[in-house]
Structure 1
Amino acid sequence: MDYSYTQDRELSWLKFNERVLNEVKNKDMPLLERLKFLEIYTNNLDEFYMVRVGTIFDMNIFKPDKRDSRSNMTPAEQLAAINHEVRKLEKTKVLYYKDIMSDLEEIKIHHMNIEILGNKDKEYLKSYFELRVFPFLTPMVIGKQHPFPHIPNKELHVLVSLSRKDKGFFGIIPIPSNLERVIYLNNKKTRYILLEDLISYYCSDIFTNYHMKSKAVIAVTRSADIDPDDDMFEKHDDYIEHMKKVLKMRGRLHPLRIEAYGELPDDLADFITKKLDMDKKNIFSDSVPLNLKYFYEIIDNIPEEIREKHTYGKYVPAKANMFYPGTSVVKQIQQQDKMLFFPYESIDPFLQLLKECSEDKETVSIKITIYRLAKNAKIVDYLCKAAENGKEVLVLMELRARFDEANNINYSKKLEDAGATVIYGMENYKVHSKICLITRRSHKGVSYITQIGTGNYNETTSKIYTDFSLMTASREIGEDAVMFFQNITMFNLNGVYKHLLVSPTSLKSTILDKIRDEIRKAEHGQTCGIFMKMNSLTDRDVINALKDASVAGVPVFLLIRGICCIRPGVEGKTENIHIESIVGRFLEHTRIYLFGDISDVSQQWDIDLYISSADMMTRNTERRIEVAVPVYDNDIKNRILKIIEVLKKDNVNAQVLLSNDEYTEKNHEMQRFDSQEFLLSYYKSHEPSPVLRQNNVLLDKLKSILNKRHP
């Protein structure tokens, strides 16, 4: 196999997280927004260890000789490479943390060192510790009667080395997660310490019968890589109870990494690695606090005048340009296909669609696949209302949406209590598709409204993730959606669809066919091109097909936010492939697959354009249920083409991938252009005018009469 134009998936992901980390030094961004990127980087890295490193760790035990299809590395070689790259990133993190803490001090926000506080502050903290912290602590000295306790995943502990009568001991204090993590030292909430600072400072007062030799705050990262479809669970009839047991098991899986806040003395390092059966090479210690989620509390409690100056401010998406307020959403979709573009446009029209259909007499059923939901999901409220009003409501709730399992379990119970039918996916296949089918019946017969999106039905992330949500009254797409839900409920993976591309059957094969079509065009001297936007590209078959397209002379533009396992610019192989990544204020999440020459937008009739829930990753193309939908409406197709033009012009958030796997900034000699900033301004300035609403509705009706509808 040729590895000259491919790179390792895990190392590519770390390059992505490096780009996230580098946003911390982006002086064009408000200070408190930069602070968030430091937390996002650390949270990303936590999940990377829990999921990806956990998987490779297991593979190193059970399949140590297996070689990666993109890098040709064994699991042990991958683990060593990951460790090396993470250490470099963590050194950078420390530098950025110090810089941003210094910047915070300039605006009077101080993380204080208890040692240098004045007597008044120390008296306050001593009282605070004695009254509000000490009663909740469970310190333990490890011994024969007190065996070493289980350390749950990512929970903070203070580890101490003690002595008494020339005999050595070790102790541990779990830091209670139900206590306030941030302790403020003044009413303005601009000076603070952390709970672990306080407990660590008073360790000598806790272990009063011992001499304190050394101490450190630690956290253990454990694997979260549990397969809910494993044979060990097959006897469980109640899938919800089964998933609850999976969640409990997750916190007890093998440890992968030890983090220490400050230096971890040798005696403590020897002790903890022996107890956890780990190698010291998996210890990461530095001067940055563990678990930076407390940053959000700091930001929320900063005086309002400071916060407003150093954040983007509260963001309210624009009213959707394709919808007219005060008019039935159902009727508008029946007149012409509609599309929402999050986060620039509000999710409200889709919520209104569900609300309307939950109440009207013509709606017979609502069927939907759900992967991740907001904590307070209006979508669930409207689905419950529909069920209570006698509509058939079918919800495919994917309980295996990693780290959202508990939330989905709770919503499943709520939906069932309201009378909805809830099913839990397909055995061995996660259902990651975003599709909603509304079936209606009137004197004119049966009709459909189908919504298909690139992102989750989540009102919270719709304000920070870029996603498309297409809504159509097309009968043929509706009939495909009917077949999709029937196939899902009958565990049939081999459904045949006229328009929808569905994995694991037709999505990947059609994408490969479309790439081959462009190759044939190039071979016959015809105009051609490929544009793909996604989160990640790892599928070796797709990578090979794109390489073949490049060799044939097809211009390929890939806009990939995260993992990218193909190397551009490799002589004789990928010279015609250009790859960029955008990391900015909003998380780029739309998936677009476009085939044809887009240099002339007027020729859009010759372009095949799909939006999808799927990335070109093997897990998505072969081991998940995903859906891609063709965009037939010319207005929407033209709109997406213009969005692509905007994204390709970005030279602020975008970086270019080179053949050596490094990313470089785009040409800043050109005028500064931030795609997200531009789109924010554009959609705010193009909100529908209530004054023109009635005329626009009449114009849409006229359009629907004059224009022959596409399926």
Structure 2
Amino acid sequence: MNLDHHAHFINREVSWLLFNERVAFEAARGDNPLFERLRFLAICASNLDEFFMVRVAGLKDQLKLGVGRPDNKTGMTAAQQLTEVANRAHAHVNHLYRLWNKTLLPALRKEGIDFTHPSQLTQAQRAHLEEYYHHHVFPVLTPLAVDASHPFPLLANRSLNIAVLLEPIAVRLPHESPLFAVVQVPSVLPRYLELPTGGRKRVFMLLEAVIEMFIDTLFPGHTVLEHACFRITRNADITVDEESAEDLLEEIEREVKKRNRGAAVRLEVQSSMSSELVETLRDWLELEAEDIYAIDGPLDLTFLMRFSAMPEYAHLRFPPISPQVPPDFIGETGLFEAIAKRDILLFHPYESFDPVVHFIHLAANDPQVLAIKQTLYRVSGNSPIVLALARAAENGKQVTVLVELKARFDEENNIVWAKKLEEAGCHVIYGLVGLKTHSKIALVVRREGERIVRYVHLSTGNYNDNTARLYTDLGMFTAREEFGEDASLFFNHLTGFADPPAWRRIATAPHGLKDAFLKLIHREIDHARAGRPARIITKMNALTDKDLILALFEASRAGVEIDLLVRGICCLRPGIPGVSDHIRVSSIVGRFLEHSRIYYFLNGGEEEYYLASADWMTRNMVSRVEILFPVLQDNLKQRLKHILDVQLRDNVNRWILAANGQYEKVEPKPGEPKVASQMQFYLEACGAADETAKALAESMIPRTPPRLLP
């Protein structure tokens, strides 16, 4: 049977849009707190921006270059994918704005919060806005005329603008067209402002609406015929010729500056904008009709992320959680001493990220520590880990830091940190040519008496203290000698010219990781064919690699039972008779972003568990430096088994992918207890005996079944 058939796969771009629809579901469900629903809506909008800036932009580039190569799984050409994406994206955007207009705005009004329009203003509010406009907004605005001597301006990516049609107050000749101008809504001012009400009700107005109220002040001597907001999304992917770049940091700095000037890939316009004005913008931006999104509501809903964080509305958000002390550190007096006793697993955000930060801080100040080596992919804006690394170098320790400058949309932040680390005396490297270093590893080399001990931290997530409170990730501390040797060899491989070494415990990409996974899958196939129980469970963010998918199809045909927990993109179509009928695909979307990667193989009863920085995506296997590492300690294996088991029983936030390519929401059966895996893990971290924590965790579990908007 030919397993490599187009019908056996789901297109990557379509699968991503299905994922964003699952995020939108969290904004729609009435049992989520109102401001959390606003946050999910903002996440959807932000996700769509990145999707267009990278994925749609890439397809458009293929089309422009005349690349006829179809998608290697579904056989769809770039043109076919763009059409399919446009159809689905338009429906998705319409759904998001129906949700905003029909559900979330009325819900805000019930809480005494409203977004108003000029026609609804009181005289006092209008006077307040007029004063605010003239003192705070007008001085910042710069109207841009567009005519023969003023070409259409190169408006920044994702900036909010107002298109204006004008005519002189003096007589205009019949054959003359209206004048055209653009006013950029300044991003340096707050997107929304509160109006005086004289009561308990709170009223807000968006900045662009304020500008439109007084837009005639920008064009004295002219009559404003029409004004409407628009927003351009541009190709924001950067291309760097690493082979010929003399200074990679400087080259990436130059490319990042070009990001705002990429080709337009999407135009969002107010639905009230006239067709003539839409066509004018479309013509100038060289876009197709399918690239125009008419919006019935405020453009750029990402402002809701900040709005939903207003401190006075804590009662409309999830109750805060307090990350707990990891159990293996309870009662310990020294971090190094605790790690020397046994391997320690950390489960974020339920367990605190502080031990990881403390690990680097302690090493920076410990006179017995000789060297620190660490990879940094995405770090926070005021990273305590980076500050500790800088201090370690100032204290005379050998500090080597690989800062990945090509981490998409974090390039500028990482460039800043790279320079600060270099100034402090750290040896900073920018990775290997042509590859992104996506591995998460830290090594501390410490003298203890007459011997050298290497302490290692490995993780599925970034060294980012902010996202460690929002993403679910797993990390492991170990002082095992074989892990220490592998860690030293790994950094030597990154900083020198050595070929990839023979690892004792880990496997790495781009040399060997895919082969390692394929061997593990084929070993389960061998067990199944020999009549032994065979089982694979994986948890990852995305599954796109064709070779691994085909291996899973083969395993299914051999009778291997397979459960795939895939949060986002999944190109494998499960449930196809004779192909993937032993494969089940689930996706969990909830309060925290599922980010950990766990790989389990039954292995004839000798169970093996692995954690990794890598998903099963082709880019992770061939164009990134990744690490897969085994979990060897029995109690930690049992913890991972429990995590997978609970997530596969989740009936609050889990979706199941059907053979038709659609996701179906899992709901508790009559009489079945609710299992909300994320909140159960938090409850367990707090301790089952802690009744206060138990009550708090239970309050976060939705109690009424959600329903989708029509």
Q: Given the two structures, how large is their TM-score scaled by the length of structure 2?
A: 0.93
Q: Is it true that 1:534 corresponds to 2:537 in the alignment?
A: no
Asked if structure 1 preserves the Cα contact closer than 8 Å seen for 2:39 and 2:308, the reply is: no
**TM-superposition CA deviations, 1:502-555 (whole Å, max 9, x none):** 001111101000000000000010011000100000000000000000000000
Give the number of aligned pairs.
676
Residue 692 of structure 1 aligns with which residue? none
Could you list the structure 1 runs, at least 4 aligned residues long, displaced by more than 4 angstroms after superposition.
none
Whole-angstrom distance in 1 between the partners of 2:10 and 2:306:
39
Equivalent residue in structure 1 for 2:297, among 285, 288, 301 = 288
- SS of 2:188's equivalent in the other structure is coil
1:552-563 residue pairs with structure 2 within 5 A? Answer: 552-563=558-569
Q: Following superposition of structure 1 onto structure 2, how do residues 195-274 of structure 1 map, counting pairs within 5 Å?
A: 195-229=207-241, 234=244, 236-274=245-283
Structure-to-structure mapping, 1:593-604, within 5 angstroms = 593-596=599-602
One-letter amino acid of the structure 2 residue matched with residue 221 of structure 1 = T
Distance in 2, matches of 1:334 and 1:444, equals 16
For the 8 Å contact 2:160–2:185, the answer to whether it is kept is yes
The CA distance in 2 between the partners of 1:627 and 1:149, in whole Å, is: 46
Q: 2:676 aligns with which of 665, 674, 681?
A: 674
Instruction: Label 1:593 to 1:204 Cα distance change in 2 as closer, same or farther (>3 A).
Output: same
2:436 is matched with: 430
Question: Counterpart in 2 of 1:661?
Answer: 661
Aligned match of 1:147: 151
The answer for the alignment partner of 1:363 in structure 2 is 369
Does residue 182 of structure 2 align to residue 172 of structure 1?
yes
- Identity percentage of aligned residues: 36
Shift of 1:325: 5.6
Rounded to whole Å, the distance in 2 between the matches of 1:239 and 1:325 is 46
Give the conservation status (yes or no) of the 8 Å contact 1:182–1:193.
yes
2:695 match: none
CA distance in 2, matches of 1:666, 1:211: 57
- Is 2:472 aligned against 1:466? yes
2:6 counterpart residue number = 3
Cα offset, 1:321, TM superposition: 1.5
Alignment match of 1:194 (pick from 188, 206, 231): 206
CA contact (8 A) 1:222 1:252 kept: yes
Task: Name which of 58, 62, 68 aligns with 1:59.
Answer: 62
Report if aligned partners of 2:269, 2:278 keep a CA contact under 8 Å in 1.
no
Change (3 A) 1:282 1:176: same
* Amino acid of the structure 2 residue aligned with 1:209: G
The 8 Å contact of residues 159 and 215 in structure 1, kept in 2 or not, is answered as yes
Asked if the contact 1:551–1:572 (Cα under 8 Å) also holds between the matched residues in 2, the reply is: yes
TM-score normalised to structure 1 length: 0.93
The 1-side partners of 2:141 and 2:594 are apart by 43
Query: Secondary structure of 1:28's match?
Result: coil
Which AA in structure 1 matches 2:619? R
The residue identity in structure 1 corresponding to 2:162 is V
Contact kept in structure 1, 2:163 and 2:183, CA below 8 Å:
yes
Please report how far the alpha carbon of residue 492 of structure 1 lies from its aligned counterpart in structure 2 after TM superposition.
Answer: 4.4
1:646 maps to which residue? Answer: 646
Residue aligned with 1:467, SS: strand
Q: Does the Cα contact within 8 Å between 2:363 and 2:392 map onto a contact in 1?
A: yes
- Corresponding residue of 1:704: none
Does 1:132 pair with 2:144? no
Deviation at 1:597, TM superposition (A): 6.7
Match of 2:49 in 1: 46
Deviation, 1:326, is 5.9
* Alignment partners' CA distance in 1, 2:515 and 2:645: 27
Give the whole-Å Cα distance in 2 for the aligned partners of 1:341 and 1:437: 20
Amino acid at match of 2:115: H
Counterpart mapping for 1:70-109 below 5 A:
70-98=73-101, 99-109=103-113
Q: Which residue of 2 aligns with 1:691?
A: none
Match of 1:514 in 2: 520
For residues 578 and 273 of structure 2, what CA distance do their matches in structure 1 show? 50
C-alpha separation in 2, matches of 1:388 and 1:206: 54
Aligned counterparts of 1:111 and 1:597: Cα–Cα separation in 2: 58
AA matched with 1:237: E
Q: Which amino acid aligns with 1:147?
A: P
CA distance in 2 between counterparts of 1:264 and 1:279 reads 17
Secondary structure of the 1:532 match is strand
Q: CA RMSD in A?
A: 1.6
Deviation at 1:190, TM superposition (A): 2.0
CA 1:460 to 1:71, structure 2 compared with 1: closer, same or farther past 3 Å? same
CA distance in 1, matches of 2:212, 2:389: 49
In structure 1, distance between residues paired with 2:457 and 2:48: 34
**What is the match of residue 446 of structure 2?**
440
CA contact (8 A) 1:359 1:386 kept: yes
CA distance in 1, matches of 2:504, 2:14: 39
Q: Is the 8 A contact 2:611 2:629 kept in 1?
A: yes
CA distance in 2, matches of 1:66, 1:643: 41
Q: Secondary structure at the match of 1:4?
A: helix
SS of the aligned residue for 1:452 comes to: strand
Q: What is the identity, as a one-letter code, of the residue corresponding to 1:16?
A: F
Consecutive unaligned residues in structure 1, runs of 5 or more: 689-711
